[in-house]
């Protein structure tokens, strides 16, 4: 399972670097829910696609994950670790850096592909 999570995470990072919002959306379940600090829950694949489409229009994004633990239970798995994202304005300006810890819950869908289904993080703005 560790290898599957590492590959999915690597694919996610590559899609962020390529600014490929459609690819990112394909890596989440249709009914995904993500909880970020100080915001409403992000619900659904289309919401993820729209969020990243908007983000990529305004920022160059670098995102890294490191999982400390991964466990699986049938068609479900979870992992927790660190999350780091740096967003540099496309038109120039000071990068914005968030870092923290998070939990990702993955589900194997009917097509046998593992996708991110739920997530929560405590990322906070870092001093630059």
- Rounded to a whole number of angstroms, the distance between the first and last alpha carbons of the chain is 36
**pLDDT tens-digit profile of 31-47?**
999 998 888 999 999 99
Residue 12, pLDDT > 90, answer yes
Q: What is the DSSP letter of 37?
A: T
**pLDDT tens-digit profile of 68-116?**
999 999 999 999 999 999 999 999 999 999 999 999 999 999 999 999 9
Contact 106, 5 (CB under 8 A): yes
Q: Domains of the chain, with CATH numbers?
A: 2-125 (3.10.450.50)
Mean pLDDT of 55-72: 95
Kindly report the length of the chain. 128
Give the number of other CB atoms < 10 A from CB of residue 92: 6
Alpha helix segments (H runs only) across 18-44: 21-26
């Amino acid at each position: 399972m560790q290898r599957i999570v590492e590959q999915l995470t690597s694919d996610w990072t590559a899609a962020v670097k390529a600014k490929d919002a459609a690819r990112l959306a394909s890596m989440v379940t249709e009914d995904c829910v993500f909880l970020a600090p100080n915001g409403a829950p992000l619900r659904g694949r289309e919401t993820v696609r729209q969020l990243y489409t908007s983000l990529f229009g305004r920022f160059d994004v670098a995102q890294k994950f490191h999982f400390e633990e991964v466990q699986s239970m049938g068609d479900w798995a979870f992992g927790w670790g660190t999350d780091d994202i740096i967003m540099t304005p496309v038109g120039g300006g000071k990068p914005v850096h968030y870092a923290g810890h998070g939990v990702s819950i993955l589900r194997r869908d009917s097509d046998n592909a593992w996708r991110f289904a739920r997530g929560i993080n405590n990322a906070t703005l870092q001093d630059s």
